[in-house]
A and B are shown apart, each in its own frame.
Chain A
């Protein structure tokens, strides 16, 4: 059986949905070991999942952009004999795994949706307009490094795949933080929203120019649906909502089960960020808005009337 090393740049009190999904993906490929970058106290209780092998960490927490996480990963790969090294496709994790791939003299495939038993990676390319299959060109002793996009397994499926287990023991590796180079002067936690993270949300409600400055109705709808809140570039550029909410070519790419687009025309750069959604519902005043070309259900109308009615009906159904 293959050994798979999963990298978590940060591990908190509990695994995030994306981290749980990654473990489920990894367990289909072999025995899973975990390397942890930043942590507080003893992080191992969060990994109380059946079948987890070794858990590697440094004596001190290694928060990004600490380059010593690459030393940690390199040592962990040697320790557990990993043939596959996986992480989520976020900036800090990509940085670490990209460097690791150089040290291991091997290839890296970023942003994949699935990896099968033959280590063929399935990936969405060119903003969702293509699906590609790719693999490492085989060579002895060459491990595969890959990063996964979230939301490729249903949460119910992940729950079914992961069995509860005992908290594993951590193995402390002799890795020390680097000196000089990059010095962190200030750290600010990003505002934690009660809503699901945009890139990981199963449902996304997004607003654009048609929102006319007030996201309140969309926020209420998002909360009613347990959805993440997104926006078009026009809305973020106007300062109506924080920039992190931007869905599109240069913003966040989302692939939720359901995407509700309100007051967004759906220009190509916006569509690039959401066209792989399972179902698209669009509301726009302009019947010629391009978003209607790709919507599964479209309403030509005023979002300020349609959305409050939706919220009312959703609440009525919940009783």
Chain B
């Protein structure tokens, strides 16, 4: 029997560069005027590409999906250069200020639209959503479970390895208290940690090839959602920049620095 084709939809996010100063704007929202493909989303993308490469007898497509402002096309274009087959960008004014609840509503509809649009030669595809372990700027890690709940899909978070078997995906994960090897059936949402692999870099040939790959932009209306269906449940009241830490006393070791540290700790009542 030929295995059903697999459509891997990888969620990628355009985020403010963590190497630079990140800030909130006057509306209490993270300043998203500039950004990069989240480093944490390179791991699920690499995992998707490795699954595609390992599946010799199976039709596997890797789609990159992003939700974000106009600039987020940068994230999906990078994903195409790295190796995704096609890409989708969900952009809508009504998504500005989306919280976890609203983001998972929009992503659910987007995933269904993307899964429905894919045409496969070898039959009806199953789908698998891969995400990073958390967004780089929100760090909540709550989207995979919410998305799975809404899709009626299974969820496995914090994967450190993934292996495709005929009717299931075998995943190694750690959720806090133990390490587990689990088998999950499709459809599934799996979040992938930065331990899973070493993401590849696009080479010149891949960058040129990416220009020919399809990138589809859609709005909420295109995926059947109205603005009021994605209004946030949580609002930010205030944002306060933490005063930058300042350097304290710095000494050069003259053979007694160990003693001096202990004296400092005793003085600060930290022993």
Contacts and interface: CB of A to CB of B under 8 A. Distances in A.
Contact of B251 (A96, A124, A280, A299): A299
Given A135-B235, A183-B183, A257-B270, A130 B100 contact: no
Contacts of B30: 126
Contacts of A296: 248-249, 268
Given A281-B261, A306-B258, A130 B252 contact: no
B53 interface: no
Given A99-B148, A137-B235, A281-B261, A298 B178 contact: no
A60 interface: no
Contacts of A95: 144-145, 155, 157, 175
Contacts of A102: 101, 104, 146, 149-150
B245 to A, nearest CB: 4
A129 B242 contact: yes
Which has the most chain B C-beta neighbours within 10 Å: A130, A136, A225? A130
Contacts of B176: 9, 64, 90-93
A114 to B, nearest CB: 14
Given A65-B156, A301-B253, A258 B233 contact: no
Contacts of B174: 91, 190, 244
B142 A136 contact: no
A108 interface: yes
Nearest to A97: B142
A110 B140 contact: yes
B258 A312 contact: yes
Interface stretch (B17-25, B61-69, B79-87, B200-208): B17-25
A70 B236 CA distance: 27
Contacts of A243: 195
B247 A65 contact: no
Interface string A273-293: 001100111010001000011
Given A182-B182, A309-B257, A314 B175 contact: no
Contact of B141 (A91, A135, A189, A244): A91
B241 A299 contact: no
Nearest to B181: A186
A182 B183 contact: yes
A137 B178 CA distance: 36
B157 to A, nearest CB: 6
Contact of A99 (B23, B149, B194, B245): B149
B253 A250 contact: no
Contacts of B265: 258, 281
A101 B146 contact: yes
Which has the most chain A C-beta neighbours within 10 Å: B184, B237, B242? B242
A283 B258 CA distance: 10
Interface in A137-168: 137, 142
Contacts of A10: 177
Contact of A91 (B100, B137, B157, B256): B157
Nearest to A65: B156
B185 interface: yes
Contact of A180 (B170, B185, B239): B185
A125 B239 contact: yes
Contacts of B246: 294
B107 to A, nearest CB: 12
A95 B261 CA distance: 42
Nearest to A277: B245
Interface in A227-246: 243-244
Contacts of B250: 287, 292, 295, 297-300
B232 A298 contact: no
A19 interface: no
A308 B257 CA distance: 11
Interface in B144-199: 144-146, 148-150, 154-158, 170, 173-185, 194-195
Question: Number of contact residues on B: which range applies?
Answer: 35 or more
B257 to A, nearest CB: 4
Interface in A82-125: 90-99, 101-103, 106-111, 120, 124-125
A100 to B, nearest CB: 9
A30 interface: no
Interface in B45-62: none
Interface string B108-139: 00000000000000000000000000001101
B247 A126 contact: no
Which has the most chain B C-beta neighbours within 10 Å: A96, A183, A300, A302? A183
Given A107-B233, A185-B183, A309-B257, A132 B239 contact: yes
A127 B236 contact: no
Given A249-B136, A269-B18, 14 more contacts: A65-B155, A91-B141, A106-B233, A126-B23, A129-B22, A129-B23, A130-B240, A182-B184, A281-B264, A294-B245, A296-B249, A305-B255, A309-B257, A317-B266
Interface of A: 9-10, 64-65, 67, 70, 90-99, 101-103, 106-111, 120, 124-137, 142, 180-190, 203, 225, 243-244, 249-250, 253, 257-258, 268-269, 272, 275-276, 279-281, 283, 287, 292-302, 305-314, 317
- Give the 3 A-B residue pairs with the shortest CB-CB distance, closest first: A309-B258, A301-B253, A107-B233
